[in-house]
Chains A and B, each alone.
Chain A
Amino acid sequence: MYWEQDVETMAREQLEALQLKRLKATLERAALSPFYGRLFAESAFNPSDVKSLEDLKALPTTTKDDLREGWPYGFLAVPREELVRMHSSSGTTGRATVIFHTRHDIEAWTNLMARCMYMTGMRRSDVFQNMMTYGLFTGGLGFHYGAERIGALVIPAGAGNSKRQIQLMRDFETTVIHIIPSYALHLSTVFGELNLDPRDTKVRMAYLGAEPHSENMRRKIEEIYGFKGYNSYGLSEMNGPGVAFECPHQSGLHIWEDSFFVEILDPVTLNPVPEGAEGELVMTTLNREGMPIIRYRTKDLTRIVPGQCPCGRTHRRIERIKGRTDDMLIIKGVNIFPIQIEKRLMGIPGVGKNFLIVLEREGYNDTMTVKVEVEKEFFDGDLKNLERLRRHIVEELKSDILITPRVDLVGPGTLPQTEGKARRVMDNRKE
């Protein structure tokens, strides 16, 4: 039941000793990167002075903005020829962050992914259908490598094309899938359209990832398909998937503390919250060569699940993600910041001063509608020109946020404003 029993069940003392050893090595390596080299010098921080895990708190946190400023090579701690892979965060061409991996890093990530899936019961005999986007997004390749490492047969199905997904599942007797939860619900309706029963497959478990979801949503998916659904958590800055994963007990996600140093901080004061209290997850890579990241603010809200898990693993568990400390939206697994939409819109002639993002759940699909005020001077009474503007906005947004939003044009001054500052997002999605 363990992929690496010694690591997964390591006594806490030993685990913390391993963390300290790896933290020191990480800090030594990070000092070679332009960003941390400068930061350490400015804070008069010497990695060799670190004697305990507590000493890390002398350093400030690292934010996504820091990563953006360091674009593209500001965080590299190795010569470029050591790199074998790059990934970029989803949905952000204007504000992209890029993560580089050495061969060691890909190996380590692959091993963590294998550990996650093996923990839930994936074996060589399984047929794994990976229904995630391959490419710059980490969800596709991360799981792919991990499942191959276990020795399962991998079907690199990619995202979308529901009928083909169902066909593949049936033809090759898929036993395990990796899927975005909202897409899992949508796919069940396609089974219905084809007069097929979603329970009538060989799939016995699903990894639900790339999108925060509630316990109720998981139960609903499990009920519709008759399989077990496991919550998968990760972010590209910390490799991608494989950071934290549920074991068969499905009560919290084991966060791999041999590879990540975990802190839960108050998002305002950045002080640690009491053990078990909710706060922002902050992580430090402990096993990455190419691009070590120290005290990274994930902006994800969670808490440590108290107590020991009956599965025997000593790595602590985090609760499923409760929300975000910033205004990032997650739609169909794509991360979208309202500021991105604003930037694009404001560069389009004919667009007025205000816009509103409306999120809705239609059936099992999340939809995004962007209501855009038209500039008074643009309107010449011709409906065709309005239609052209609308299509232009759709194309512009699509090229940036990678999903196709609905765009509605509205008159100037008609969108709600609060105290002069426009309200940008209306989230009408309900469970």
Chain B
Amino acid sequence: MIASQLSVFAENRPGSLAAVTAVLAREKINIRATTITTSDTFGVINLIVDDPDRAHTALSKAGMMVRIRPVLAVLIDDRPGGLDRLTQLLYQEGININNAYGFVLENHVHAVFVVDVDQLEKAERLVEKKGFKTLDTEGLAAVEPFHYRY
């Protein structure tokens, strides 16, 4: 399954991220994960949210440059070697990772690794064939991050 990542263009200066989160907070959109990649004076804020389409509309309306990018959200084991199993597989198949980040779903049980790759569909078929579970937007929205249990 393919998940959606929001990518927001931002200038590399104080307040850029705050402007994005202010819109999402107002719209009551939940953020599952975020990373920022920066160049010299600008960067891209990547977000996994529970409702990407609504977030896209709200951020665009606020004058931001936003794109929804298809990514793979792969469920991995939250234990030593869990991520390595996945990355070795991608490496063997020659799949290049443009950007990646992860978050824990259930402490010592499951984590999600989000990968932005060149050959998305090939990568998806490959990891699913090898027994990995991939999550789509709904799947990501439904899972309960571990800290909600405390």
Q: Would you call the interface of chain B mostly helix, strand, loop, or mixed?
A: strand
* CB pair B67 A408 closer than 8 Å: no
The yes or no answer to B22 lying at the interface (CB within 8 A) is: no
The yes or no answer to A166 lying at the interface (CB within 8 A) is: no
Number of residue pairs A-B, CB distance < 8 angstroms: 53
The yes or no answer to B100 lying at the interface (CB within 8 A) is: no
The yes or no answer to B9 lying at the interface (CB within 8 A) is: yes
Q: Which residues of B contact A386 (CB under 8 A)?
A: 9, 39, 42, 44
> Most B CB atoms within 10 A — which of A379, A383, A390?
A383
Q: Which residues of B contact A383 (CB under 8 A)?
A: 37-39, 43-44, 99
B63 interface neighbour in A381, A384, A411, Cβ under 8 Å:
A411
The yes or no answer to A409 lying at the interface (CB within 8 A) is: yes
Interface size class of A (residues with CB under 8 A): 10 to 19
Contact with B along A364-385 (1 / 0, CB 8 A): 0000000000101001111110
Known: A408-B42, A411-B11. A379 touches B98 (CB 8 A): no
* CB pair B69 A380 closer than 8 Å: yes
Give A412 to B47 CA distance when docked, in angstroms.
20
The yes or no answer to A334 lying at the interface (CB within 8 A) is: no
* CB pair A413 B41 closer than 8 Å: no
* CB pair A384 B9 closer than 8 Å: no
Q: Which residues of B contact A414 (CB under 8 A)?
A: 11, 63
Q: Which residues of A contact B99 (CB under 8 A)?
A: 383
* CB pair A409 B41 closer than 8 Å: yes
> Most B CB atoms within 10 A — which of A374, A382, A384?
A382
* CB pair A413 B42 closer than 8 Å: no
B67 interface neighbour in A380, A387, A410, A411, Cβ under 8 Å:
A380
Q: Which residues of B contact A390 (CB under 8 A)?
A: 39
Within 381-413 of A, Cβ neighbours of B (below 8 Å) are at 381-384, 386-387, 390, 408-413
The yes or no answer to B143 lying at the interface (CB within 8 A) is: no
Give A383 to B42 CA distance when docked, in angstroms.
9
For B42, the closest partner residue in chain A by CB is A409
* CB pair A381 B44 closer than 8 Å: yes
* CB pair B39 A387 closer than 8 Å: yes
Within 81-95 of B, Cβ neighbours of A (below 8 Å) are at none
The yes or no answer to B134 lying at the interface (CB within 8 A) is: no
29 pairs, A vs B, C-beta closer than 8 Å? A379-B9, A379-B65, A379-B67, A380-B7, A380-B67, A380-B69, A381-B5, A381-B44, A381-B46, A381-B67, A381-B68, A381-B69, A382-B7, A382-B98, A383-B37, A383-B44, A383-B99, A384-B98, A386-B9, A386-B39, A386-B44, A390-B39, A408-B11, A408-B42, A409-B42, A410-B11, A411-B11, A413-B63, A414-B11
Contacts A383-B38, A408-B41, A409-B41 known; list 18 others, CB within 8 Å: A376-B65, A379-B7, A380-B69, A381-B44, A381-B68, A382-B44, A382-B98, A383-B43, A384-B98, A390-B39, A408-B42, A409-B42, A410-B11, A411-B11, A411-B63, A411-B64, A413-B63, A414-B11
- Would you list the 6 A-B pairs with minimal beta carbon distance, nearest first? A381-B7, A381-B67, A381-B69, A408-B41, A383-B37, A379-B65
